[in-house]
Structure 1
Amino acid sequence: MNIALVTGSAGLIGSESVAFLADKFDLVIGIDNNLRQYFFGADGSTEWNRTRISEAYSNYKHYPADIREVSQLEPIFKEFGTDIKMIVHTAAQPSHDWAAREPFTDFGVNAVGTLNMLEMTRLNCPEAVFIFTSTNKVYGDNPNYLPLVELETRWEIDENHPYFENGIDENHSIDHTKHSIFGASKVAADIMVQEYGRYFGMKTGTFRGGCLTGPNHSGAQLHGFLAYLMKCAITGNHYTIFGYKGKQVRDNIHSHDLVNMFWHFYQNPRPGEVYNAGGGRYANCSMLEAITLCEQISGKKLSYSYSDTNRIGDHIWYVSDLSKFKAHYPGWNWEYGLEETLTQIHDGIAARLAGTIA
Structure 2
Amino acid sequence: MTVILVTGSAGLIGSESVRFFCDKGYTVVGIDNNMRETFFGKGASTEWNRDRLLEKYGEKYIHHSIDIRDQEAVSNLFNTYNKDISLIIHTAAQPSHDWAASDPHTDFTVNANGTLVLLENTRNICPDAVFIFCSTNKVYGDSPNYLPLIEQEFRWEIDENHQYNQGIDESMSIDQCKHSLFGVSKVAADLLVQEYGRYFGIKTASFRGGCLTGPSHSGAELHGFLSYLMKCTMLGKPYKIYGYKGKQVRDNIHSYDLVNAFDHFYQNPRVAEVYNIGGSRFSNCSMLEAILHCEAITDKKLHWVYEETNRIGDHIWWISDIQKFKNHYPEWNLTYGIKEILKEIYTQNVSRWV
In structure 1, what is the equivalent of residue 244 of structure 2? 244
- 2: CA distance between counterparts of 1:168 and 1:316? 13
Query: 2:231–2:353: 8 Å Cα contact kept in structure 1?
Result: no
In structure 2, what is the equivalent of residue 107 of structure 1? 108
In structure 2, what is the equivalent of residue 198 of structure 1? 198
Normalised TM-score (structure 2): 0.99
Letter in 2 for 1:61: I
Deviations 1:215-272 (A, max 9, x none): 0000000000100000000000100000000000000000000000000000111110
Shift of 1:86: 0.6
Query: 2:237–2:303: 8 Å Cα contact kept in structure 1?
Result: yes
In structure 1, what is the equivalent of residue 316 of structure 2? 316
Letter in 1 for 2:210: G
- Give yes or no for the alignment of 1:227 onto 2:227: yes
Q: Gaps spanning 5+ residues in structure 1: where? A: none
- 1: CA distance between counterparts of 2:290 and 2:43? 20
120-129 or 343-352: bigger deviation: 343-352
1:315 counterpart SS class: coil
Deviation beyond 2 Å, 4+ runs, structure 1: 23-26
Deviations 1:299-328 (A, max 9, x none): 100010000010000000000000000000
May I ask how many residue pairs the two structures share in their alignment?
A: 353
Query: 1:205–1:271: 8 Å Cα contact kept in structure 2?
Result: yes
In structure 2, what is the equivalent of residue 20 of structure 1? 20
Query: 1:68–1:112: 8 Å Cα contact kept in structure 2?
Result: yes
In structure 2, what is the equivalent of residue 92 of structure 1? 93
In structure 1, what is the equivalent of residue 2 of structure 2? 2
- Give yes or no for the alignment of 1:327 onto 2:327: yes
1:281 counterpart SS class: helix
Query: 1:230–1:346: 8 Å Cα contact kept in structure 2?
Result: yes
Normalised TM-score (structure 1): 0.98
Q: Gaps spanning 5+ residues in structure 2: where? A: none
- Give yes or no for the alignment of 1:351 onto 2:341: no
2:86 counterpart SS class: strand
Deviations 1:324-356 (A, max 9, x none): 0000000000011111110010112212125xx
In structure 2, what is the equivalent of residue 11 of structure 1? 11
Query: 2:283–2:338: 8 Å Cα contact kept in structure 1?
Result: yes
- 2: CA distance between counterparts of 1:208 and 1:234? 30
In structure 1, what is the equivalent of residue 260 of structure 2? 260
1:67 counterpart SS class: coil
- 2: CA distance between counterparts of 1:100 and 1:339? 33
- 1: CA distance between counterparts of 2:255 and 2:26? 22
In structure 1, what is the equivalent of residue 278 of structure 2? 278
- 2: CA distance between counterparts of 1:24 and 1:339? 28
In structure 2, what is the equivalent of residue 163 of structure 1? 164
In structure 2, what is the equivalent of residue 139 of structure 1? 140
Query: 2:86–2:129: 8 Å Cα contact kept in structure 1?
Result: yes
- 1: CA distance between counterparts of 2:300 and 2:239? 14
Shift of 1:25: 4.5
- 2: CA distance between counterparts of 1:146 and 1:320? 14
Letter in 1 for 2:346: H
Letter in 1 for 2:191: I
- 2: CA distance between counterparts of 1:241 and 1:143? 20
Deviations 1:3-33 (A, max 9, x none): 0000000000000000000033541000000
Query: 2:252–2:278: 8 Å Cα contact kept in structure 1?
Result: yes
2:115 counterpart SS class: helix
37-46 or 20-29: bigger deviation: 20-29
Shift of 1:160: 1.2
In structure 1, what is the equivalent of residue 150 of structure 2? 149
2:95 counterpart SS class: coil
- 2: CA distance between counterparts of 1:81 and 1:24? 21
In structure 1, what is the equivalent of residue 51 of structure 2? 51
- 1: CA distance between counterparts of 2:119 and 2:311? 31
In structure 2, what is the equivalent of residue 71 of structure 1? 72
Percent identity over the alignment is: 65
Shift of 1:72: 1.3
Letter in 1 for 2:209: G
2:52 counterpart SS class: helix
Instruction: State how 1:208-223 maps to structure 2 within 5 Å.
Output: 208-223=208-223
Letter in 1 for 2:65: P
